[in-house]
Structure 1
Amino acid sequence: MSKTALIFWGGWEGHTPARSAAVVGEILTGHGFEVRIEEGTSALADPQLSAIDLIVPVVTMSTIEKPELQNLIAAVSGGSGLAGFHGTMGDSFRNETAYQFMTGGQWVAHPGDIIDYHVDITSDDPIVRGIEGFAYHSEQYYMHVDPSNEVLATTTFGGEHLDFIDGVVMPVVWKRRYGKGRVFFSALGHTADEFSVPQMRTIFERGVLWASRAA
């Protein structure tokens, strides 16, 4: 029996939510998932949400109804996987601290906007194993992060744009547990075009597969 995945998308168009959701759908379909792609958050109210193996938010700067959020949190804590990227998971619902507690972080800044920076692999975890550190051209995310995250990759800020963060080491990729659920996040992926970067795509692909409900 194939695994099931729900991808829900919306919010700020600058993050190409519809296109990004489609790319994620293609990745998961390629691994045999039965995939639903829904616009908005209403699908999270589904009483059967907790039966879904993997939930992928692709939503930025949006709002969510309390019953929808409660149902999502219950599903993940009960064993559904949660995985996502960039602001479409790391800046989905700014007013919802319970959501941020579950995901392990919240975007707060990207000094310099689109810039060249470096991603450093800091773990031998299978999600990043065999990948060397790499150059990246995108928003370098400054985030507020949960110290309980298992960090797999980082980036180091320079002082060119804000001198007081010079040398700050910031998590870029992490995984964590939330109740019985697995949670994966990558700060890479400002638009759907970034899935053409091999390291970004490989890390995300491995991460979503890890996050999916254990057999």
Structure 2
Amino acid sequence: MPKALIVRGGWEGHRPVEATDLFRPFLVAGGFEVQVSDSPEIYADAAVMAATDLVVQCVTMSSIERDALDGLRAAVAAGTGFAGWHGGIADSFRASSDYLQLVGGQFATHPGKDPAARCGDETDNFLPHTVTFTPAGREHPITAGLDDFELTTEQYWVLHDDLIDVLAETTHPVRPWHPWQREVTSPAVWTRQWGRGRIFVATPGHSLDVLRQTTVRTVIERGMLWASRTASGS
């Protein structure tokens, strides 16, 4: 029986418990034995990590100790899959450059509405935008057969490197109240090979309704399976 480890915590605004609970039944139905930890310190347990085929992380911001980070990096390099969505993986452990290198992309901002239209809550950063699958994404097992889709939620602006394989992207337009002078395209779904391990990241997922959106949920479910050691044969 493959083993999945759900690690959740950090900023409560991303509902780490409720969000991961959405996907736990899918993993169980897929034959995974699922363990849940409320702290990334479990990554320092070499025996647990060696036996884990898939880590699903939902920890926004927060911090990580050196031994835990070393344990995560070593496990992924040895074949443990690493998967997550939104700030739970792309905005985790901001002070750790080694974590950022592992994931390959880091949340920078989510541009907001026209200041005249803002009301002072999280919806100030909810913008209508399109998530477009790349040519590689149209052939990848995570995203093949899916159509481009529209969301009205946070649109992540991501800083990233060239080692990621981008399966979907989203473009930030030029608006009069923003300081940039040309459109900026950010990855919205990507994969990454790290040693013998596979990494999967989807940036949509700010709220439970976004995670329940059919295409978002399908991408995340497929991404977790793809990243798992069982699927990769690593």
User: Residue 136 of structure 1: CA displacement?
Assistant: 0.7
Instruction: Please state if 1:109 is matched with 2:127.
Output: no
- Separation in structure 1 between the aligned mates of residue 2 and residue 181 of structure 2, nearest angstrom: 43
Q: Which moved more, 1:49-58 or 1:162-171?
A: 162-171
> 2:46: which partner in 1?
47
Question: Which residue pairs with 1:207 in the alignment?
Answer: 223
- Whether 2:169 is the aligned partner of 1:154: answer yes
Percent identity among equivalent residues? 40
Alignment of 1:53-132 (within 5 A): 53-112=53-112, 113-122=125-134, 123=137, 124-132=139-147
The CA deviation at 1:193 is 2.5
CA contact (8 A) 1:45 1:68 kept: yes
Higher-Rg structure is 2
- Encode CA deviations 1:103-157: one digit per residue, 9 max, x unaligned: 1111010001111110001122111111111101110000111111110000111
Specify the code of the residue in structure 2 equivalent to 1:119. Answer: V
| 2:140 aligned with 1:141 | no
Q: Which runs of 5+ in 1 are unaligned?
A: none
The runs of 5 or more residues in structure 2 that have no matched partner are 113-124
Question: Partner of 1:117: helix, strand, or coil?
Answer: strand
Which residue of the partner structure matches residue 214 of structure 2? 198
- The alignment yields a C-alpha RMSD, in angstroms, of 1.2
The runs of at least 4 aligned residues of structure 1 exceeding 4 Å deviation read: none
Match of 2:153, SS state, is strand
Q: Quick one: distance in 2 between partners of 1:27 and 1:177?
A: 24
Partners of 1:50 and 1:74 within 8 A in 2 = no
Q: Partners of 1:208 and 1:17 in 2: how far apart?
A: 16
Post-superposition CA distance 1:133-190 (Å, at most 9, x none): 1101110000111111110000111122525154211110001101110001000101
Deviation at 1:40, TM superposition (A): 1.5
TM score, norm. by length of structure 1:
0.96
- Report how far residue 25 of structure 1 moved: 1.4
Letter in 2 for 1:30: A
Matches within 5 A, 1:13-24: 13-24=12-23
Aligned length: 214
